[in-house]
Amino acid sequence: MSIKAIDKASIHHITSGQVVIDLQTAVKELVENSVDAGATSIEVRFRNYGLSSIEVVDNGCGIAEDDYESIALKHHTSKLETFSDLTSVETFGFRGEALSSLCALSEQVSISTATASTTPMGTSLVLDSSGKLLKRSAVARNQGTSITLTNIFSPLAVRRKELERNIKREFAKALSLLNAYALGPCAAAPGIRLTVTNQQEKGGKSTPIRTLGLPSCRESVTALWGPKSLDNIVDVDITFEVEREKVVLKRLQNQELEPFTVQVRGLTSKFSVGCGRAGTDRQFFYVNGRPCNMNKIQKCFNEVYRSFNATQAPFIVANIMMPTHIYDVNVSPDKRTILLHSEANLISALKVAFFFSLPYVIGLTTHIRLLSRFILRHPGQPLISGRRSRDPKHLRRAYFPWRRLAKLPVIATRSSPKRTMKDHLPLLHPHPQPLLSALPAPL
């Protein structure tokens, strides 16, 4: 057979199935649109766990009348204009694919919207499978937008059948992702009230998620899992510098070559036995507020935590803030996979900074006791695993009471009856003397 071009309708359906792959992706795209619209209240309504319909209602800025015709067309967006804008994009959506893909994958997509200048008069829009406007009519509504998806994945028989067979599992995945948004974007200033409801065909209405809209991660944790979930939770606030890798330096050439600063803020479990969790089901990671999958970063946190609590995993909410040009979010269709520049150096510096911040997290006395116990139980083993850096400059901002520890006696053992912590410094880092001169004096 000769090579021929695929018709536009088939291309649209093929690519749409790659952008929206499951129930949680569909919900994520609609919630992100509401966050980008500046909403302070978002309600996600499932009917029959999302099989019958999914509706997302917000009080954002609404859709201007000039954008009605192009709101769901492929690659139509207000977030960026050129490819170079990707290095500075701060919104959740930017490709203009989500709503168009949802039109191709749903039986019907309807929108109700009103802006500040048109409320209480709004407009109802009905879109076809290609994203074009079929019908519009006037409705009464407050400022904001409501988007309803009916019978999602009905054009794809196999995917629809799979969704019906595993609907409760897919619904649980969607709730887990919405928890991430409740703890991240919805807990950032000025705060977004997030409500998730599910109306079953035969049964009552349930509300699995309801937050208060306060700009506080702790308040969101309380709203999701109750006040007792904060009993063993402490704050994390780390700032450190990351050296750029040589490969990155060669590629940047005449661009900025200085180390970049990274901040990590959030919550974590106390570093004590019994304060963690049996699994890693409550670990949430963000890059500049964007929920994402970061397996290597997650492994880094877990390794440090298990140095003190080997039988449990921590609860983690970690927002990693860095310059936008340091990472690439345009990797996967769902934008949850992020590539980091100088990733190896970043993880190494994060591991060291996270460990050295423990005096602030668990208290200086507890940190000294745990550190002593670790050295005695693992003689000759480096405290920070992974590749060691020959340059200790990235440690200068990290506080660690070296001088105070050097004066404290260690519990006597048969192998080292009279050694002090100062004798064990070479076990902690291959270059302890530069650290002694670089780090500030203890408090």
Range of the domain at 263: 232-438
Q: Does residue 76 sit in the same domain as residue 203? A: yes
- Sign for the pseudo-dihedral over CA of 358, 361, 364, 370: negative
Three-class DSSP category at 223:
helix
Angle at CA of residue 437, ends 396 and 305, nearest 5°: 45
Q: Does residue 250 sit in the same domain as residue 121? A: no
Measured CA to CA, the distance from residue 414 to residue 231 in angstroms comes to 39
The mean pLDDT of the chain is: 79
Contact partners, residue 391, CB within 8 Å, separation at least 6: 243
Measured CA to CA, the distance from residue 285 to residue 295 in angstroms comes to 9
Read off the pLDDT of residues 304-346 as tens digits, 9 standing for 90 and up. Answer: 888 778 889 999 999 999 988 888 887 777 778 888 888 888 8
Residue 327 · residue 338 · CB < 8 Å:
yes
CATH of the domain at 30: 3.30.565.10
Q: Does residue 131 sit in the same domain as residue 208? A: yes
Q: Does residue 208 sit in the same domain as residue 265? A: no
Q: Does residue 296 sit in the same domain as residue 355? A: yes
Number of domains in the chain: 2
Read off the pLDDT of residues 150-182 as tens digits, 9 standing for 90 and up. Answer: 999 998 899 999 999 999 999 999 999 999 999
Read off the pLDDT of residues 138-154 as tens digits, 9 standing for 90 and up. Answer: 999 999 999 999 999 99
Q: Dihedrals φ, ψ of 417, to 5°? A: -70, -30
Q: Does residue 301 sit in the same domain as residue 346? A: yes
Measured CA to CA, the distance from residue 375 to residue 367 in angstroms comes to 12
Buried b (16+ CB within 10 A) or exposed e, 231-267: ebbbebebebbbbbeeebeeeeeeeeeebbebebbbb
Residue from 84, 29, 35 nearest 59 by CA: 35
Read off the pLDDT of residues 409-424 as tens digits, 9 standing for 90 and up. Answer: 333 333 443 444 444 4
Q: Which residue has the higher pLDDT, 87 or 236?
A: 236
Read off the pLDDT of residues 13-64 as tens digits, 9 standing for 90 and up. Answer: 777 777 888 999 999 999 999 999 999 999 999 999 999 999 999 999 999 9
Residue 32 within any structural domain of the chain: yes
Q: Does residue 207 sit in the same domain as residue 300? A: no
Measured CA to CA, the distance from residue 416 to residue 380 in angstroms comes to 12
